[in-house]
Chains A and B, each alone.
Chain A
Amino acid sequence: MKRKLRFILAAMAALALTFALVACDGDNGGSNGDTNGDNGDTTTFAIGFGGPISQGAVSFGQGALNATRLAVDQANASDEARDLGIQFRVVEGDDQSDPSLAPQVAGALISERDLVGVVGHFNSGVTDPAGLVYNEHGVVQISYGSTRPDLTHMGRENFFRTCATDALQGPTAADSAWELGFRTAVLIDDSSPYGEGLAAAFKEQWEEIGGEILLEERTAQQESDFAPVVTRVNAADPDFVFFAGTYDSSSGAGALFARQLKDGGVEAPMMGGDGIQVDGFITEAGPQSEGTIATKPGMPIEDMPEGAAFISDFEAEFGEAPGGFDAFAFDAANAIINAVFEVAETDGVDSVATPAGRRAIIEVVAGNEFPGVTGPVSFDENGDSANPIVSTFLVYDGEWIIHPDVPTP
Chain B
Amino acid sequence: MTNTKNTSNNTTAAYEDQAVKGKASSAEAIFGNIAKPMFSRGGNKSPLKTALTALLLVFLFALPIYLQGMGEALLLAALVGIGLYVILALGLNIVVGYAGMLDFGRMAFYAVGTYAAIILAIPLANLLGDSLEGLVFPLVMVAAGLIAAFVGWLLSLPVMRLRGDYLAIVTLGFGEIVRITIQNNPFGLTNGLLGLPDRGNVLASPPFFDWLRDNVYWALGNDFFFTMTRNVYWYYMVLIMLIVAIIVVRNQDNSRLGRSWAAMREDEVAASAMGVNVTKAKTWAFVLGAFWGGIAGACFGFFLGGISPEPFSFLNSVIVLAIVVIGGMGSIPGVLVGGVLIMGFPELVRWFAMNHLGQAGGDIQSMVANFRNLFLGLLMVVMMAVRTEGIIPMKPKFHKLFGKGKSDKGDHTDAVVGAAPKGGAGS
Q: Which A residues lie at the B interface, using CB under 8 A?
A: 1, 3-4, 7-8, 10-12, 14-15, 18-19, 21-23, 25-26, 29-30, 32-33, 35, 37, 53-55, 92, 94, 96, 98-100, 102-105, 107-108, 110-113, 125, 128-129, 132-133, 136-137, 148, 150, 153-155, 191-193, 195-197, 218, 220-221
Give the residues in chain B near A23, CB-CB below 8 Å. 215-217
Give the residues in chain B near A150, CB-CB below 8 Å. 198-200
Q: Chain A nearest CB: distance from B74 CB in Å? A: 4
Q: Chain A nearest CB: distance from B252 CB in Å? A: 15
Cα distance A153–B197 in the bound complex, in angstroms: 13
Q: Chain B nearest CB: distance from A292 CB in Å? A: 23
- Is B369 in contact with chain A by the CB < 8 A criterion? yes
Give the residues in chain A near B220, CB-CB below 8 Å. 29
Write out, one digit per residue, whether chain B residues 180-206 have a CB within 8 A of any chain A CB (1) or not (0): 100110000000111100111010000
Q: Which single residue of chain A is at the shortest CB-CB distance from B183?
A: A191
Tell whether, in the assembled complex, residue A112 and residue B71 are in contact, meaning their CB atoms are under 8 Å apart: yes
Q: Which of A1, A12, A35, A136 contacts B222 (CB 8 A)?
A: A35
Instruction: Please report the total number of B residues contacting A with Cβ < 8 Å.
Output: 66
Q: Which B residues lie at the A interface, using CB under 8 A?
A: 38-39, 42, 50, 53-54, 57-58, 61-62, 65, 68, 71-74, 76-78, 80-81, 180, 183-184, 192-195, 198-200, 202, 212-213, 215-222, 224-226, 229-231, 243, 300, 303-308, 310-311, 354, 359, 361-363, 365-366, 369
Cα distance A153–B39 in the bound complex, in angstroms: 53
Tell whether, in the assembled complex, residue B305 and residue A148 are in contact, meaning their CB atoms are under 8 Å apart: no
Tell whether, in the assembled complex, residue A103 and residue B230 are in contact, meaning their CB atoms are under 8 Å apart: yes
Q: Chain B nearest CB: distance from A191 CB in Å? A: 6
Tell whether, in the assembled complex, residue B217 and residue A22 are in contact, meaning their CB atoms are under 8 Å apart: yes
Query: When A and B form their complex, which 8 residue pairs have the shortest distance between CB atoms, in order from nearest?
Result: A54-B366, A29-B219, A33-B225, A108-B74, A104-B77, A111-B73, A1-B39, A22-B218
Give the residues in chain B near A11, CB-CB below 8 Å. 54, 57-58, 61
Cα distance A197–B38 in the bound complex, in angstroms: 53
Tell whether, in the assembled complex, residue A113 and residue B200 are in contact, meaning their CB atoms are under 8 Å apart: no
Q: List 14 A-B contacts (CB under 8 A).
A: A4-B42, A14-B58, A26-B219, A29-B217, A32-B221, A33-B222, A33-B225, A53-B362, A92-B362, A104-B78, A110-B73, A111-B72, A125-B308, A154-B202
Q: Which single residue of chain B is at the shortest CB-CB distance from A108?
A: B74
Give the residues in chain A near B202, CB-CB below 8 Å. 154-155
Cα distance A153–B201 in the bound complex, in angstroms: 10
Give the residues in chain B near A108, CB-CB below 8 Å. 73-74, 77, 354
Tell whether, in the assembled complex, residue B73 and residue A54 are in contact, meaning their CB atoms are under 8 Å apart: no
Q: Which single residue of chain A is at the shortest CB-CB distance from B70?
A: A111
Q: A54-B363, A100-B81, A104-B78 are in contact. Are A113 and B219 (CB under 8 A)?
A: no
Tell whether, in the assembled complex, residue B77 and residue A94 are in contact, meaning their CB atoms are under 8 Å apart: no
Cα distance A109–B370 in the bound complex, in angstroms: 23
Q: Which of A35, A54, A137, A155 contacts B369 (CB 8 A)?
A: A54
Give the residues in chain B near A125, CB-CB below 8 Å. 193-195, 308, 310
Q: Which single residue of chain B is at the shortest CB-CB distance from A7?
A: B54
Tell whether, in the assembled complex, residue A100 and residue B311 are in contact, meaning their CB atoms are under 8 Å apart: yes
Give the residues in chain A near B65, CB-CB below 8 Å. 18
Give the residues in chain A near B300, CB-CB below 8 Å. 100
Give the residues in chain B near A103, CB-CB below 8 Å. 77, 80, 230-231, 303-305
Cα distance A12–B54 in the bound complex, in angstroms: 11
Q: Which single residue of chain B is at the shortest CB-CB distance from A21?
A: B218
Tell whether, in the assembled complex, residue A155 and residue B200 are in contact, meaning their CB atoms are under 8 Å apart: yes
Cα distance A112–B355 in the bound complex, in angstroms: 11
Q: Which single residue of chain B is at the shortest CB-CB distance from A10?
A: B54
Give the residues in chain B near A10, CB-CB below 8 Å. 54
Q: Secondary structure at chain A's binding surface: helix, strand, loop or mixed?
A: helix
Cα distance A137–B214 in the bound complex, in angstroms: 12
Tell whether, in the assembled complex, residue A129 and residue B306 are in contact, meaning their CB atoms are under 8 Å apart: yes
Tell whether, in the assembled complex, residue A132 and residue B305 are in contact, meaning their CB atoms are under 8 Å apart: yes
Give the residues in chain A near B58, CB-CB below 8 Å. 11, 14
Cα distance A125–B306 in the bound complex, in angstroms: 10
Cα distance A35–B226 in the bound complex, in angstroms: 15
Give the residues in chain B near A22, CB-CB below 8 Å. 216-218, 226
Cα distance A137–B213 in the bound complex, in angstroms: 11
Tell whether, in the assembled complex, residue A4 and residue B39 are in contact, meaning their CB atoms are under 8 Å apart: yes
Give the residues in chain B near A136, CB-CB below 8 Å. 213, 229-230
Q: Chain A nearest CB: distance from B86 CB in Å? A: 16
Cα distance A273–B216 in the bound complex, in angstroms: 47
Q: Chain B nearest CB: distance from A39 CB in Å? A: 12
Q: Chain B nearest CB: distance from A165 CB in Å? A: 13
Give the residues in chain B near A129, CB-CB below 8 Å. 304-306
Tell whether, in the assembled complex, residue B218 and residue A26 are in contact, meaning their CB atoms are under 8 Å apart: yes
Q: Chain B nearest CB: distance from A18 CB in Å? A: 7
Cα distance A389–B287 in the bound complex, in angstroms: 54
Cα distance A153–B194 in the bound complex, in angstroms: 14
Q: Which of A54, A193, A218 contacts B184 (CB 8 A)?
A: A218
Give the residues in chain A near B226, CB-CB below 8 Å. 22
Cα distance A107–B369 in the bound complex, in angstroms: 19
Give the residues in chain A near B212, CB-CB below 8 Å. 19
Tell whether, in the assembled complex, residue B193 and residue A29 are in contact, meaning their CB atoms are under 8 Å apart: no
Q: A150-B200, A196-B192 are in contact. Are A113 and B71 (CB under 8 A)?
A: yes
Give the residues in chain B near A153, CB-CB below 8 Å. 199-200
Cα distance A136–B424 in the bound complex, in angstroms: 60
Most buried by A among B184, B310, B361: B310
Tell whether, in the assembled complex, residue A99 and residue B310 are in contact, meaning their CB atoms are under 8 Å apart: yes
Tell whether, in the assembled complex, residue A4 and residue B78 are in contact, meaning their CB atoms are under 8 Å apart: no
Q: Chain B nearest CB: distance from A120 CB in Å? A: 14
Tell whether, in the assembled complex, residue A113 and residue B362 are in contact, meaning their CB atoms are under 8 Å apart: no
Cα distance A60–B305 in the bound complex, in angstroms: 25
Give the residues in chain B near A92, CB-CB below 8 Å. 354, 359, 361-362
Tell whether, in the assembled complex, residue A107 and residue B74 are in contact, meaning their CB atoms are under 8 Å apart: yes
Tell whether, in the assembled complex, residue B50 and residue A7 are in contact, meaning their CB atoms are under 8 Å apart: yes
Give the residues in chain A near B195, CB-CB below 8 Å. 99, 125, 128, 193
Q: Chain B nearest CB: distance from A173 CB in Å? A: 19
Tell whether, in the assembled complex, residue A94 and residue B222 are in contact, meaning their CB atoms are under 8 Å apart: no
Q: Chain B nearest CB: distance from A42 CB in Å? A: 18
Give the residues in chain A near B217, CB-CB below 8 Å. 22-23, 26, 29-30
Tell whether, in the assembled complex, residue A192 and residue B193 are in contact, meaning their CB atoms are under 8 Å apart: yes
Q: A26-B218, A133-B230 are in contact. Are A128 and B306 (CB under 8 A)?
A: yes
Tell whether, in the assembled complex, residue B199 and residue A111 are in contact, meaning their CB atoms are under 8 Å apart: no
Give the residues in chain B near A12, CB-CB below 8 Å. 61
Known: A14-B61, A132-B305, A153-B200. 6 other contacts (CB 8 A): A32-B221, A32-B222, A92-B362, A107-B76, A193-B195, A221-B183
Tell whether, in the assembled complex, residue A154 and residue B193 are in contact, meaning their CB atoms are under 8 Å apart: no
Q: Chain A nearest CB: distance from B68 CB in Å? A: 8
Q: Chain B nearest CB: distance from A236 CB in Å? A: 21
Q: Chain B nearest CB: distance from A33 CB in Å? A: 3
Cα distance A37–B71 in the bound complex, in angstroms: 14
Tell whether, in the assembled complex, residue B225 and residue A113 are in contact, meaning their CB atoms are under 8 Å apart: yes
Q: Chain B nearest CB: distance from A27 CB in Å? A: 9
Give the residues in chain A near B50, CB-CB below 8 Å. 3-4, 7
Give the residues in chain B near A128, CB-CB below 8 Å. 195, 306
Q: Which of A14, A30, A193, A218 contacts B308 (CB 8 A)?
A: A193
Q: Chain B nearest CB: distance from A318 CB in Å? A: 13
Q: Which single residue of chain B is at the shortest CB-CB distance from A189?
A: B193
Q: Which single residue of chain B is at the shortest CB-CB distance from A194?
A: B193
Most buried by A among B54, B73, B183: B73
Cα distance A234–B243 in the bound complex, in angstroms: 59
Tell whether, in the assembled complex, residue A98 and residue B311 are in contact, meaning their CB atoms are under 8 Å apart: yes
Cα distance A240–B363 in the bound complex, in angstroms: 41
Cα distance A103–B359 in the bound complex, in angstroms: 21
